[in-house]
Amino acid sequence: MYAFEYHRPTSIGQAATLATEVEDVKFLAGGHTLLPTMKMRLAAPASLIDLSQIAELHGIERSAESITIGAMTKHAEVVNSSEIRESIPALAEMAELIGDPHVRHRGTIGGSVANNDPSADYPAACLALNATIITNKREIAADDFFQGIFTTALEEGEIITRVSFPIPSRAAYAKFRHPASRYALVGVFVAERGNDVRLAVTGAGADGVFRVPEMEQSLSRHFAPDALEGIIIPPEGMNGDIHADAAYRAHLVGIMARRAVQAAASRG
Amino acid sequence: MTATGIGAPVRRKEDQRFVTGQGRYVDDFNRPGQAYAYFLRSPHAHAAIRSIDTGPALVMPGVLAVFTGDDLAADKIGGLICGWMIHSKDGSPMKAGPHPALAQDKVRYVGDHVAVVIAETLAQAKDAAEAIVVDYDVLPAVVETAEAQNSSVQVHDVSSDNTVFNWHLGDKDATDAAFAQAKHVTKIDLVNNRLVPNPIEPRAALGEYDPGTDNYTLYTTSQNPHVARLVLSAFIGVAPEHKLRVIAPDVGGGFGSKIFIYAEETVCVWAAKKVKRPVKWTSDRTEAFLSDAHGRDHVTRAELATDDSGKILGLRVHTIANLGAYLSTFSSSVPTYLYAPLLSGQYDIPAIYCEVDGVYTNTAPVDAYRGAGRPEATFVVERLVEKTARELGQDPAEFRRRNYITQFPHQTPVIMAYDTGDYAASLDKALELADFANFSERKRDSARRGRLRGIGFSSYIEACGIAPSQAVGSLGAGVGLWESAEVRVNPTGSVEVLTGSHSHGQGHETTFAQLVSDRLGIPIDQVSIVHGDTDKVQFGMGTYGSRSGAVGMSAIAKALDKVIAKGKKVAAHVLEAAEGDIEFKDGKFGVAGTDRALGFGEVALQAYIAHKFSGQDLEPGLKEGAFYDPTNFTFPAGVHICEVEIDPDTGVTTIERWTAVDDFGVIINPMIVEGQVHGGIAQGVGQALLEGAVYDQSGQLVTASFNDYCMPRAADLPSFQVDVTVTPCPSNPLGIKGCGEAGAIAAPPAVINAITDALGHEDISMPATPQAVWRAVRKAHMPMAAE
Ligand SMILES: Cc1cc2nc3c(=O)[nH]c(=O)nc-3n(C[C@H](O)[C@H](O)[C@H](O)COP(=O)(O)OP(=O)(O)OC[C@H]3O[C@@H](n4cnc5c(N)ncnc54)[C@H](O)[C@@H]3O)c2cc1C
């Protein structure tokens, strides 16, 4: 790790101002992605703006239509939230599959979404649930937010404040863990809201999280695993590493999609 | 059996310290004025060094010194050594290339040591290392074990085809003759995957020099501090042996990787004198992946000849063993004398012939890792035996039973003389515990759920204790492999045992104390075990090869016998009886046939106050030492049975049941032994299903972090069913065989035999990752499927 300046503002306004005043700055949330890369000297921001003391970024709110989660909310808080368990159980179940207890008690939804790791779980949930990413400047639909691996619609100095999830009629997440890292080798999040079915895949795509329109259309006609029969996911555009090449990942997308639909359908 | 004696499941005395964070590891030691070392490592697998400019680094803040290989050479510091001479078939000695602690002229693997920066802080040392300018001429690399001998890349000048040795063992003609009359020959090609040891505590070294006394001190993460001192003084030449104190305090696991003498500790001791400051280095996890000696990495073709009744006639093995870029401390012995002598397994095999080519590649050095040679041998034998049984249409358990050695002692055709064992007893017990009788029902049940179930056996044997010094000397070892102990009885009757064994997780503070408690009849909390400091313990060979029980404790037992003998003399004087009439029983020295007796503590006090005997009759004090040199290897053996279920959709293999029946001879602490078995199985399952070091073609380590290198986790393992059979070892006074490596030796073939049973074909290698198993399932069930 190289030396850096450390700031700890207490309001979103202060943080945003700091971000424009200070050179080469990064926001610090749970630090579970940022700090390891700094320790390995792969990232070397001149300043960090720690978001942890900004009260407005914390908390979970439930309305009739949606769940809204503050950016600094930790994965463990999502896991344990009774509001979320009641309204979008799939989201709490997804959060429970992130990393290990240490990670879940440090990592945040804001950090995960802003980072857009191609193997992270939240991007699939955001895309499938048709979430809105709310920043200090605007509201961005998930479909527009995730723009390829480690790339998002966020502008320099823009702060995610909340993520809002419309409550689906049923949803589920099926994750095939990477054997070593336990991130998603392939994760499929499926959500049905009225007649609208959205299905998003993380871990597999070379360009990051993506939706599978063919599966969505078929599922919107008939929400059951057999609706996916015959839909082949081609290996082109898939990620590959020593644990899973493109062909295996493509195959797993089909398997995990079926398992996610099975789990969602069994929710009644 | 007493509550704390031999055989009692005593809770580990050291765990209170460890689990409350009060252990003291090398990195916990800080010396006044301490500076920090950071090693600049090669980013290239193979490159000539045209020049190194340390100038820009030297002017960086906090930098005390920057050293390169030239500085070591100028001080006549020798290279790192390989302490076991192997001769090729033609009688020529192995081709050992130079192994300087800091590279000279060339780097040979990613992570090779190029220069060291010593600075006030670690961050300053790292900053300065980035400022060193190295002009590399990058060369092509050779990384694949099987390709090393045909590569145009030459790793060392001493070997034109990267061959270190072409070694062999056994009788070629007799083996050829056996194959000529065979009814059936089974062939197998195997890869034993390369592993990264990954002890939880990374390596560390802290060197200190006292100009007043000219004494050096090295705190290091070592399994054998005396061997480290010997090598650093006699061979590398950093300090005279009597001026160098090596301390290996609490050590957080080693699995073999902390046996060896590495560049970093060499440099830290030497640099401490150069900069006149204590110098500390602590490996980070990436450095550990890159530069700890790796394990295994064999490519093998083997054949087993059988007659028409399924009796084994002969075994032929050819192995290429990747030794990495340099010969690490004991690397040459692992794929030779720790490997081929185990190829007879538990079987009566009349003829065996094994050839091993040790090769250089542009990868991290490979050396002993939990099991060291025996897992590789067991994998060959047990995979081959299983495959043979299947080809012959015989039950794999019964095929094994038919070929078991049943008469002891048994001389194998490959050096070893097995002393005792009852292999069928372990098999019978394992079959019962594994509920083998109902396996086919479970398999049908799995099939109904769309799952593939398989069962796999591993009927392993290994050789521990290493070993009679004369024997290993005749095989090329540069050292003897005895162990020493000193028992110091204090006037109050408490006891300190100084041992040359070194605990780095094994629980010696408990098991060794149990032996003392058992023999002297004193409470276990009256016993302290002292190890890991060359200023306290006179000499010792250290802990590896599951030797601390069989060899280390035997030395203690011998010293305890001497203490008791001396105690009898003291008691005779005090009790005014003839020495021959004194009996020692239940912690009391008594006069035979009377009720006159002295407790152990009373005798200890009398020995030190020396009021009851004259100096002419008896020396005061109660302290005895012993060296114990074993008369044979010990031969732990057993049967492990693994049952797996495979999800054909994902390729995920779940271990449903694990049965282990081991014969470790006499057991000192069954709880600790069971823990060793659990850990060993976990490591073996890791090798079989999860772990594997992967280098890309350019020699970059792809698996250089836990993000890519998959370690076993608790959830990857079932609850083990562990049991024992006991045939006491006849060659040591305690009857101990050793248990530390058995699980890691037994497990891999059990897993792969279970997977191949489930698949219905043999085509899967380690690690059998979900991806690999998925492909193998498709191969079995959908021969027409593309990909
Ligand atoms: C061992 C381990 C295992 C893990 N396993 C998983 C897993 O299985 N699945 C998974 O999905 N994730 C996993 N993670 C990632 C973890 O869950 C976090 O989500 C992730 O580290 C990012 O969150 P953070 O709060 O730590 O963000 P940080 O590391 O603090 O920040 C990450 C990035 O986001 C930016 N950022 C943070 N907050 C904001 C904000 N409010 N507005 C704008 N930009 C912001 C930062 O500047 C930085 O660039 C794992 C992490 C570790 C260390």
The model's pLDDT over B165-215, given as tens digits with 9 standing for 90+, comes to 999 999 999 999 999 999 999 999 999 999 999 999 999 999 999 999 999
Longest dimension (CA), chain B: 93
Residue of A nearest to B650 (CA): A252
Give the torsion sign (CA, B338, B339, B345, B349).
negative
* pLDDT, tens only, B678-711: 999 999 999 999 999 999 999 999 999 999 999 9
**Residue B199 φ/ψ region, left for φ over 0, alpha for ψ in the -120 to 50 degree band, beta for the rest:** beta
- Give the pLDDT mean for B529-540: 96
The answer to the question of residue A228 being in a domain is: yes
Assign residue A177 the CATH number of its domain.
Answer: 3.30.390.50
* pLDDT, tens only, B217-230: 999 999 999 999 99
- Give the pLDDT mean for A34-44: 93
Angle between helices B600-609 and B554-575 (to 10 degrees): 70
- Give the pLDDT mean for B65-86: 97
The answer to the question of residue A22 being in a domain is: yes
- Give the pLDDT mean for A64-91: 98
Neighbours of B740 (CB within 10 A): 26
- Give the pLDDT mean for B491-520: 96
> With a 6 A CB cut-off, is A30 part of the ligand 1 pocket?
yes
pLDDT greater than 60 at residue B287: yes
Give the torsion sign (CA, A14, A16, A22, A25).
positive
For ligand 1, atom 37, name the residue with the nearest CA.
A111
- H or E stretch covering B339: none
* pLDDT, tens only, A148-194: 999 999 999 999 999 999 999 999 999 999 999 999 999 999 999 99
- Is the Cβ of A176 closer than 8 Å to some Cβ of chain B? yes
Assign residue A30 the CATH number of its domain.
Answer: 3.30.43.10
Would you list the DSSP string of chain A?
----EEE--SSHHHHHHHHHHSSSEEEESS-TTHHHHHHTTS---SEEEE-TT-GGG--EEE-SSEEEEETT-BHHHHHH-HHHHHH-HHHHHHHHTSS-HHHHTT-BHHHHHHHT-TT-SHHHHHHHTT-EEEESS-EEEHHHHB-STT-BSPPTT--EEEEEEEPPSEEEEEEEE-TTT-SEEEEEEEEEETTEEEEEEESSBTTS-EE-HHHHHHHHH--SGGGGTT-PPPSTTB--BTTB-HHHHHHHHHHHHHHHHHHHHTT-
Q: Confidence band (pLDDT; 50, 70, 90) for B787?
A: very low
For ligand 1, atom 17, name the residue with the nearest CA.
A107
d(C-alpha B564, C-alpha B438), whole Å: 54
- Is the Cβ of A42 closer than 8 Å to some Cβ of chain B? no
Residues of B in contact with A244 (CB under 8 A): 770-771
Q: Strand order of the sheet with strand B204-210?
A: B63-68, B113-119, B35-41, B279-282, B204-210, B215-220, B244-247
Cα angle B743, B748, B753; round to 5: 125
For chain B, the distance separating the N- and C-terminal CA atoms, rounded to the nearest angstrom, is 61
Give strand pairing partners of A202: A187
Burial B563-587 (b: 16+ CB within 10 A, else e): bbebbbbbbbbbbebeeebbebeeb
pLDDT greater than 50 at residue A83: yes
* pLDDT, tens only, B410-460: 999 999 999 999 999 999 999 999 999 999 999 999 999 999 999 999 999
- Residue A154 CA, closest ligand 1 atom number: 43
The answer to the question of residue A68 being in a domain is: no
* pLDDT, tens only, B288-320: 999 999 999 999 999 999 999 999 999 999 999
pLDDT of residue B785: 45
- Is the Cβ of A232 closer than 8 Å to some Cβ of chain B? no
Give the torsion sign (CA, B379, B385, B391, B396).
negative
Residue B156, both tokens: 């060392």
CATH topology of domain B298-466+632-781: Aldehyde Oxidoreductase; domain 4 (3.30.365)
CB contact under 8 Å between A180 and B286, yes or no, is no
What pTM value is reported for the model? Answer: 0.97
Report phi then psi at B47, rounded to 5: -160, 145
pLDDT greater than 60 at residue B783: no
Give the best residue of B771, B773, B781 to mutate against chain A (max A CB count within 10 A).
B771
CB contact under 8 Å between A179 and B770, yes or no, is yes
> With a 6 A CB cut-off, is A71 part of the ligand 1 pocket?
yes
Q: Percent of chain B scored above 70 by pLDDT?
A: 99
For ligand 1, atom 6, name the residue with the nearest CA.
A99
Counted domains in chain A? 2
Instruction: Enumerate residues 6+ apart whose C-beta is below 8 A from B341.
Output: B169, B412, B414, B415, B416, B463
> With a 6 A CB cut-off, is A45 part of the ligand 1 pocket?
no
Q: Confidence band (pLDDT; 50, 70, 90) for A24?
A: very high
Nearest-Cα distance to chain A for B681, in Å, is 18
Nearest-Cα distance to chain A for B649, in Å, is 7
Residues spanned by the domain of A46: 1-57
pLDDT of residue B690: 98
Contact B154, B86 (CB under 8 A): no
Neighbours of B623 (CB within 10 A): 18
According to CATH, the superfamily of the domain at B31-139+200-253+258-291 is Aldehyde oxidase/xanthine dehydrogenase, a/b hammerhead (3.90.1170.50)
For ligand 1, atom 28, name the residue with the nearest CA.
A31
Residues of A in contact with B714 (CB under 8 A): none
Residue of A nearest to B648 (CA): A255
- Is the Cβ of A181 closer than 8 Å to some Cβ of chain B? yes
Residue B207, both tokens: 């060197």
Q: Please say whether the structural domain B482-628 has been given the CATH code 3.60.15.10.
A: no
Report phi then psi at B696, rounded to 5: -85, 175
- Is the Cβ of A180 closer than 8 Å to some Cβ of chain B? yes
- Give the pLDDT mean for B377-402: 98
CB contact under 8 Å between A41 and B690, yes or no, is no
CB contact under 8 Å between A251 and B774, yes or no, is yes
- Residue A108 CA, closest ligand 1 atom number: 25
Burial of B286 (0-12, 13-18, 19+ CB in 10 A): middle
| CA dist A67 → A110, A263, B183 (Å) | 15, 21, 73
d(C-alpha B284, C-alpha A41), whole Å: 13
Cα angle B275, B281, B282; round to 5: 170
Neighbours of B298 (CB within 10 A): 25
Report phi then psi at A157, rounded to 5: 80, 0
Give the torsion sign (CA, B102, B104, B107, B108).
negative
- Residue A29 CA, closest ligand 1 atom number: 30
d(C-alpha B563, C-alpha B605), whole Å: 13
- Give the pLDDT mean for B747-776: 98
pLDDT greater than 50 at residue B786: no
Residue A98, both tokens: 């992130």
The answer to the question of residue A69 being in a domain is: no
When CB atoms are compared, the residue of B123, B710, B775 closest to A180 is: B710
Q: Confidence band (pLDDT; 50, 70, 90) for B1?
A: low
For CATH 3.30.365.10, list the domain ranges present in chain B. 298-466+632-781, 482-628
The answer to the question of residue A66 being in a domain is: no
d(C-alpha A257, C-alpha A253), whole Å: 6
| CA dist B542 → B170, B231, B248, B330, B534 (Å) | 30, 14, 11, 14, 11
d(C-alpha A51, C-alpha A33), whole Å: 15
